[in-house]
């Protein structure tokens, strides 16, 4: 991103004037659109707000922008002799479209994280940089000659990767499959997107866990689905709840995350699993098993999964490397009956023409060599350690004000605020002190719950981050 | 893909029986679903059909499958003591969904190409393997240390790539932009998909060139758009046609491919360009400029583009590396006003959580070093040579039976059959002789047109491929 050059002789405000002028001329800000607010641009460029005021003043003097009382700084419609109406009304286009935007809470958190690098991040359910297999990836890129074909690939994904995945799934997760039943996707997100777009129709009813990650996905809303709740208990959802939902709403699909459920961390009790599969099969309802976390298990023994005991072929199994290796690779997979895989692969062609060959080749090398096995042991131990640090800090700082059940895997600690406070206010207080988390609201949860992810922050930031969070919490109790 | 082991002592039919049994048990073919037809599986596994018949007979004897008269071989519903209704009706799910499948013509061609490796491919509008920058990519992977962050990336794409693209666009195409106005996508396909999903609403009218690549995109249908035609002449579409379409249908967006238009190869005449931009701005209609081919220009001088003279900010500029470097990298870009880029980036997060960092890093290295410049000169010369070879062969084999206008860039030759024949029959006759092409129908064209791509086949296959094609064409004239 462009930043002013502090060593230049040209004054900073003048550099900013020139840059904004250039962006306007280049069409980044069309006539009639608004420039970023003075406050926001000042934050982005790391300058005083007064510098921006001066730069905008200069643009105004040149007639390039005009102030529109209360609305900010608008690019003049009279530039280049353009008649006001002679340009697309981009705002109208941007506000249209069928695709629902992200939830405001999530956008707020992302924006804060983008703008403040020093923020302690308990919000993002992802790994910290040091937990990625950086050395292994660099080594593979340097040492293994890249010989894959650089043209369009098989719509289902790179065959050698699908083959190494079939072996990987059997070895690590007891899932037996073949390369023909595997679709390579750009992570679990794309698997879920393809399922909602291709196998369901607007108006269809689906059941999701409550609370769950799915509530934070506008993709369900974009697909026009009606969502119904399956409450999650400490031993997971209750299979019998499916019957009543089916009777009332003709549920057409179940979205479940049975292992280290996001956000609660719970595991669906083994005794409930056959019952769940039998009820789903009896009612003819497919189950989407979202399983990003099984291989994070702290005791090196992943819990069993539904797919491995799915004799009815009811389960669409969704996994990825994002939470167990590196999210930036964008490699996920779906294991499903072949007709489903073919249908989804065909639709995906229309959306993005398939995935890049390079990360697929890399993921194949990573899984097929022993590098993954070394990595996953290291990761499991590191996550267990980070959770322990977080728990210790919470106990020290907030004793009886917060409660939680430690998990045996996953990236998150699901917490109950014993003195309920407004989650949105708490988030803002926390941001002021340099720490972010996810309000339970994002997961469709009742008030007074939050998700603290211990995977993302650096080890040395966990304790200080919890101290800041505790200060934010206590400030609202005093208030 | 699994193939029988011909060196094994176990009979081939027995190996196939065991493999299909395994696939059924693994859930690839659920109870009640159909196995591939005997003919199709025989082709896939490269064995005699009688071997498959024997294998299916064996599965039937074991009670694993049953014959369903006329419908093929169905996996038994009584396996594992399952009551017939006790499993999802996958066929119903697969046939549902809002996402339209690919056109049958296109699926037919893809299937043929997948199953017969020796087919001469005049159908795929893509580069042959030897035209990719294979050595440059291998060199970059081996020699440049990979140091990019392996976590989730900026929703707009890898910043160093957006910066090198801004320079690339200015240097090669005279398009002035900044990193903030660039969205990195998984190729042009994803740019178009995001535009149709996020900026348009079902029922909206859009204008597309006739003939055009857009007709082959079920994505327009999936987005519920109404398509209206702008006829393409030898000097491109006529801007004045937009006015009448707007009056009649309130056109909300124009999709144009002004340079080396696909499939006609025509260039929108320079004298029409300002008029086009003025009319679009006057009516407030945004233009999507799809520009995959400009840099293939045989004389090393790319034609000018709309975006470089777009003073109204009406143009969404869509480009990619697919046709000028390697489609398998899946790197494309959209240049647009910042509010549009932000909206599309936000939606893309919901679909696939963004692109893999590895190909983005690689594309950045490729563009930022001199490697791209060396490559593009080589490519331009190679394409000119391949077109010349195709033209010579067509003139030799089909003299007055076919006509076309040579293009000065792009990958395709748009041909008129001077003795009209049924395109579908012609395609089937051609397939029988080992060659495929794209019927004009796929591009919404009138009868008697075909697209021959010279970029994809190997140099030594162009002449022999045209001979086979000529035989197929003549066989229908005699018939």
Full DSSP string of A8-42: SSS-HHHHHHHHHHHHHHTTSS-TTPBPPPHHHHH
CB A206 within 8 A of CB A249: no
Helix (H) or strand (E) holding A280: helix A270-283
Torsion of CA A455, A456, A461, A464, to 10 degrees: -80
Angle of the A49-61 helix axis to the A12-25 helix axis, nearest 10: 50
Burial B268-289 (b: 16+ CB within 10 A, else e): beeebbeebbebbbbbbbbbbb
Task: Split chain B (479 residues) into runs of 10 and give each run's mean pLDDT.
Answer: 88 92 84 87 91 92 80 77 62 77 80 89 95 95 92 92 96 94 96 94 93 86 90 96 95 97 96 95 95 97 96 94 96 95 91 94 95 96 98 96 96 95 92 95 89 97 98 89
Q: Which of A96, A222, A337 sits opposite B27 (nearest CB)?
A: A337
By three-state DSSP, how is residue B22 classified? helix
Burial A76-86 (b: 16+ CB within 10 A, else e): bbebeebeeeb
> Exposed (0-12), middle (13-18) or buried (19+): which is B20, by Cβ within 10 Å?
buried
**Residue B415 forms beta bridges with which residues?**
B404, B450
Q: Do B101 and A353 touch (CB under 8 A)?
A: no
Residue A86's pLDDT is 61
Among A90, A123, A283, A289, most B C-beta atoms within 10 A, so best to mutate, is A90
List per-residue pLDDT tens for chain A, 479 residues long. Answer: 788 999 999 999 999 999 998 888 888 888 788 899 898 899 889 999 999 999 999 998 888 888 876 778 888 876 655 444 567 788 888 887 777 777 778 888 888 998 888 999 999 999 999 999 999 999 999 999 998 999 888 889 999 999 999 999 999 999 999 999 999 999 999 999 999 989 998 899 999 999 999 887 888 888 889 999 999 999 999 999 999 999 999 999 999 999 999 999 999 999 999 999 999 999 999 999 999 999 999 999 999 999 999 988 899 999 999 999 999 999 999 999 999 999 999 889 889 889 999 999 999 999 998 899 999 999 999 999 999 999 999 999 999 999 999 999 999 999 999 998 988 899 999 999 999 999 998 898 888 999 999 999 999 999 999 999 999 999 999 75
Q: DSSP 3-state helix, strand, coil percentages of chain B (rounded to 5)?
A: 50, 15, 35
Q: How far is CA B300 from the centre of its chain?
A: 25
From A22's Cα to the closest Cα of chain B, the distance in A is 8
Chain A: residue nearest B201 by CA? A97
In sequence order, the 6+-apart residues with CB closer than 8 A to the CB of B124 are: A152, B109, B113, B453, B456
Rounded distance between C-alpha atoms, residue A350 and residue B102, angstroms: 8
CB A141 within 8 A of CB A359: no
Q: Which of B138, B328, B350 sits opposite A145 (nearest CB)?
A: B138
Eight-state DSSP code of residue A225:
P
Among A350, A363, A457, most B C-beta atoms within 10 A, so best to mutate, is A350
Provide the ipTM.
Answer: 0.89
Q: Which of B141, B193, B350 sits opposite A351 (nearest CB)?
A: B193
Burial A389-404 (b: 16+ CB within 10 A, else e): bbbebbeebbeebbeb
Eight-state DSSP code of residue B35:
P
Question: Per the structure block, which two tokens stand in for B281?
Answer: 């701005």
In order of A10, A123, B27, B214, B466, the CA distances from B447 in angstroms are 64, 58, 44, 17, 20
A contacts of B327 (beta carbons < 8 Å)? 150-152, 353
Helix (H) or strand (E) holding B120: strand B120-121
Rounded distance between C-alpha atoms, residue A406 and residue A264, angstroms: 10
From A402's Cα to the closest Cα of chain B, the distance in A is 30
Rounded distance between C-alpha atoms, residue A190 and residue A440, angstroms: 24
pLDDT digits (tens, 9 = 90+) for B141-168: 999 999 899 988 888 999 999 999 999 9
User: Closest Cα to residue B252, out of B292, B208, B215?
Assistant: B208
Rounded distance between C-alpha atoms, residue B256 and residue B229, angstroms: 11
Do the strands A402-404 and A412-417 form a parallel or antiparallel pair, or are they unpaired?
A: antiparallel
Helices (H), ranges, B254-352? 270-283, 338-352
B contacts of A281 (beta carbons < 8 Å)? 82, 86-88
Helices (H), ranges, A144-239? 159-173, 187-198, 218-222
């Amino acid at each position: 991103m462009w930043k002013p050059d502090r060593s230049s002789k040209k004054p900073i405000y003048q550099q900013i004037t020139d840059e904004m002028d250039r962006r306007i001329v280049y069409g980044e800000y069309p006539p009639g659109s608004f420039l970023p607010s003075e406050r926001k641009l000042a934050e982005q460029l790391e300058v005083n707000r007064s510098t921006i005021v001066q730069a905008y003043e200069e643009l105004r003097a040149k007639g390039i922008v005009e102030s529109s009382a209360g609305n900010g700084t608008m690019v003049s419609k009279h530039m280049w002799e353009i008649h006001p109406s002679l340009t697309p009304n981009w705002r109208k286009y941007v506000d249209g479209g069928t695709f629902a935007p992200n939830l405001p809470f999530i956008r707020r958190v992302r924006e804060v994280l983008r703008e403040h690098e020093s923020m302690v991040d308990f919000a993002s359910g992802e790994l910290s940089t040091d937990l990625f297999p950086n050395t292994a990836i660099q080594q593979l890129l340097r040492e293994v000659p890249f010989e894959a074909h650089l043209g369009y690939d098989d719509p289902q994904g790179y065959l050698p990767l699908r083959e190494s995945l079939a072996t990987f799934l059997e070895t690590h997760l007891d899932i037996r499959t073949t390369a023909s039943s595997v679709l390579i996707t750009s992570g679990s997100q794309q698997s879920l997107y393809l399922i909602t777009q291709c196998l369901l129709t607007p108006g269809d009813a689906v059941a999701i866990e409550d609370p769950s990650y799915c509530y934070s996905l506008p993709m369900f809303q974009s697909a026009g689905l009606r969502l119904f709740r399956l409450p999650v208990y400490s031993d997971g959802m209750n299979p019998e709840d499916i019957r009543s939902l089916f009777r009332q709403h003709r549920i057409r699909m179940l979205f479940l995350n049975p292992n280290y459920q996001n956000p609660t961390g719970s595991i669906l009790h083994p005794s409930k699993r056959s019952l769940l599969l039998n009820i789903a099969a009896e009612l003819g309802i497919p189950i989407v098993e979202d399983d990003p976390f099984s291989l994070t298990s702290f005791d090196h023994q992943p819990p069993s999964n539904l797919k491995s005991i799915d004799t009815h072929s009811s389960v669409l199994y969704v996994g990825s490397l994002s939470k167990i290796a590196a999210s930036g690779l964008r490699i996920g997979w779906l294991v499903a009956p072949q007709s489903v895989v073919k249908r989804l692969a065909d639709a995906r062609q229309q959306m993005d023409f398939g995935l890049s060959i390079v990360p697929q080749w890399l993921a194949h090398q990573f899984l097929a060599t022993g590098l993954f096995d070394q990595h996953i042991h290291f990761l499991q131990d590191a996550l267990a350690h980070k959770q322990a640090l977080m728990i210790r800090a919470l106990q020290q700082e907030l004793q009886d004000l917060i409660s939680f059940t430690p998990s045996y895997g996953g990236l998150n600690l699901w917490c109950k605020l014993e003195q309920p406070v407004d989650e949105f206010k708490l988030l803002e207080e926390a941001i002021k002190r340099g720490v972010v988390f996810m309000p339970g609201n994002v997961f469709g949860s009742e008030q007074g719950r939050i998700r603290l992810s211990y995977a993302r922050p650096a080890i040395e930031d966990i304790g200080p981050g919890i101290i800041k969070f505790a200060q934010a919490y206590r400030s609202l109790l005093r208030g």
